[in-house]
């Protein structure tokens, strides 16, 4: 049985907004006396507000995180997901000891290697090679341990030609390549990775996800991963945590956590309804659902059904030439294809549009799929985009005796016309 390697109890982090300190020296001295000398609660934090950026608020103190409690066992890969400003990066900084908590405690067993933002822990004047040794020393590794891993790190990073060049001359992509290679290969028990992988190209992102999977599943090390790419989170992680306005909204099995994040607290992944808060001046999206043709959205999709994608969309301004485009991606975040009503010669009308697209029977293979939605004006300007706006699964259908059982290679499996003479 795995033992807890990270224990977080009643963790909170408050920030002062608008100014440094509390405004006066006397107030700062009063806070110091009450909290440090008398050991009482900070009275100024009692007026702090939840970190909801969509509301103005009355207090100049906000809680980036509030009363966070969880345990992570050795060898688990945990995806931390949530909207921008939810507190994900703050949590990683606290776990990495980049900043200190306002209240609560963190107990960590083992060394932590962190990749929080481009250039974290690198000295710009030192070369890539020297920074590898510097990072290893910070982690408490001996020089001979780092030397043993050096060639592997340089090879993985793909910056061998520039490894003796000061890193201040690196591009952001080169920076993150080397930084990830160092964090992943040096022998820490815990690897913490923020969204910096988005800086790298698609090939390197895939390489990094493969390496993190190897670290977690093969080497038994613990990985904490923040990403907005739900396909990558599901592919890599076995557990998940959803943060919202600094609070934990859900944690547990990654499938359930991602489903909750994408759809809200609903029982199906195949349908998403939008409130008026999502409305834009030019348009409004009401709902998107994926279902078998002629059935409701909570029906199971299988590989041999015709699948219908429905989107209720209101065009508010008839003078705007808008169209809706979808991109379907697989479970590791690779785009499979793009499709739009304009390919069928159809235009949106003023008012409510019930957009339907039918995928032929047997078209999608078994697996998880993620739908992104783009609203484009005049086929040139993207005015709205939301990736992973909907998730759905296609399961194995009833197959003829003697056919391959399980998932066949590939992501689509169209049914063609065949003849044998």
* Residue-level pLDDT, tens digit, the chain, 421 residues: 567 899 999 998 887 654 445 456 666 676 667 776 777 666 655 555 455 544 444 456 778 888 899 999 988 999 998 877 788 888 988 998 888 888 889 999 888 888 776 666 788 899 999 988 988 887 777 888 889 989 988 998 888 899 999 988 988 788 888 888 887 887 788 888 887 666 666 677 777 778 887 887 777 889 898 887 776 787 788 899 999 888 999 899 988 887 777 655 544 468 888 888 788 888 999 999 998 887 665 566 777 888 899 999 999 988 888 999 999 988 767 888 999 998 888 899 999 999 999 998 888 888 778 899 999 988 778 888 888 888 888 876 665 444 555 566 777 777 777 768 7
* Fold for the domain defined by 72-262: Rossmann fold (3.40.50)
Taking the CB of residue 397, how many other CB atoms lie within 10 A of it?
A: 14
Give Cα separations from 297 to 189, 227, 283, 324, 411 (angstroms): 43, 27, 24, 21, 22
Measure the CA–CA gap between 118 and 196, rounded to whole angstroms: 6
Q: For residues 86 and 244, is the Cβ–Cβ distance under 8 A? A: yes
* Fold for the domain defined by 271-395: Coagulation Factor XIII; Chain A, domain 1 (2.70.50)
Query: How high is the pLDDT of residue 266?
Result: 45
Token code pair at residue 318: 């008839």
| Residue closest to 230 by CA, chosen among 201, 203, 257, 198 | 257
Give Cα separations from 69 to 87, 183, 362 (angstroms): 14, 26, 45
Measure the CA–CA gap between 38 and 412, rounded to whole angstroms: 66
Measure the CA–CA gap between 79 and 15, rounded to whole angstroms: 25
DSSP 8-state class, residue 411: S
Measure the CA–CA gap between 232 and 245, rounded to whole angstroms: 23
Flag whether the pTM goes above 0.75.
no
Q: Do 271-395 and 72-262 have the same topology in CATH?
A: no
Q: For residues 228 and 242, is the Cβ–Cβ distance under 8 A? A: no
Token code pair at residue 124: 């710009």
| Residue closest to 288 by CA, chosen among 302, 303, 304, 268 | 268
Measure the CA–CA gap between 380 and 335, rounded to whole angstroms: 20
Give me the residue spans of the domains in the chain.
72-262, 271-395
Rg value, the chain, Cα: 25
Q: For residues 102 and 12, is the Cβ–Cβ distance under 8 A? A: yes
Residue carrying the six token digits 């690198």 = 122
Measure the CA–CA gap between 259 and 240, rounded to whole angstroms: 11
Query: How high is the pLDDT of residue 363?
Result: 87
Measure the CA–CA gap between 197 and 226, rounded to whole angstroms: 10
């Amino acid at each position: 049985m795995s033992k807890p390697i990270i224990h977080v109890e009643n963790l909170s982090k408050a920030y002062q907004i608008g100014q440094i300190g509390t405004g006066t020296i006397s107030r700062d001295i009063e806070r110091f006396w009450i909290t440090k000398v008398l050991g009482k609660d900070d009275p100024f934090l009692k007026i702090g507000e939840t970190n909801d950026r969509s509301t103005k608020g009355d207090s100049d103190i906000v809680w980036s995180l509030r009363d966070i409690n969880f345990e992570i066992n050795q060898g688990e890969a945990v995806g931390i997901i949530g909207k921008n400003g939810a507190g994900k990066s703050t949590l990683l900084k606290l776990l990495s000891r980049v900043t200190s908590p306002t209240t609560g405690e963190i107990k960590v067993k083992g060394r932590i290697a962190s990749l929080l933002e481009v250039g974290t822990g690198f000295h710009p004047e030192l070369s890539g090679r020297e920074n590898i040794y510097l990072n290893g020393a910070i982690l408490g590794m001996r020089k001979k341990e780092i030397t043993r891993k050096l060639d592997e790190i340089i090879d993985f990073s793909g910056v061998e030609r520039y490894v003796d060049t000061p890193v201040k001359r690196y591009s952001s992509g080169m920076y993150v390549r080397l930084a990830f290679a160092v964090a992943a290969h040096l022998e820490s028990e815990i690897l913490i990775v923020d969204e910096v992988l988005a800086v790298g190209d698609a090939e390197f992102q895939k390489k990094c996800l493969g390496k993190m999977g190897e670290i977690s599943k093969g080497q038994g090390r613990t990985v904490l991963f923040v990403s907005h790419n739900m396909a990558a989170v599901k592919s890599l992680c076995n557990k998940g945590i959803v943060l919202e306005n600094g609070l934990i909204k859900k944690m547990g099995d990654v499938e359930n956590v991602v489903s909750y994040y994408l759809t809200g607290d609903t029982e199906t992944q195949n349908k998403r309804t939008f409130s008026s808060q999502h409305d834009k001046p030019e348009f409004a999206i009401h709902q998107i659902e994926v279902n078998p043709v002629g059935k409701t959205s909570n029906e199971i999709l299988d590989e041999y059904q015709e699948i219908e994608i429905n989107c209720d969309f209101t065009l508010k301004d008839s003078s705007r030439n808008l169209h809706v485009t979808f991109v379907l991606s697989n479970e590791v975040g690779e785009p499979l294809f793009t499709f739009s009503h304009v390919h069928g010669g159809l235009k949106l009308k003023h008012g409510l549009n019930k957009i339907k697209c039918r995928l032929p029977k047997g078209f999608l293979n078994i697996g998880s799929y993620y739908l992104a939605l783009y609203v484009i004006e005049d086929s040139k300007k993207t005015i709205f985009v939301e990736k992973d706006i909907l998730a759905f699964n296609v399961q194995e259908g009833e197959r003829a005796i003697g056919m391959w059982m399980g998932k066949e290679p590939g992501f689509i499996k169209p049914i063609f016309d065949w003849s044998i003479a």
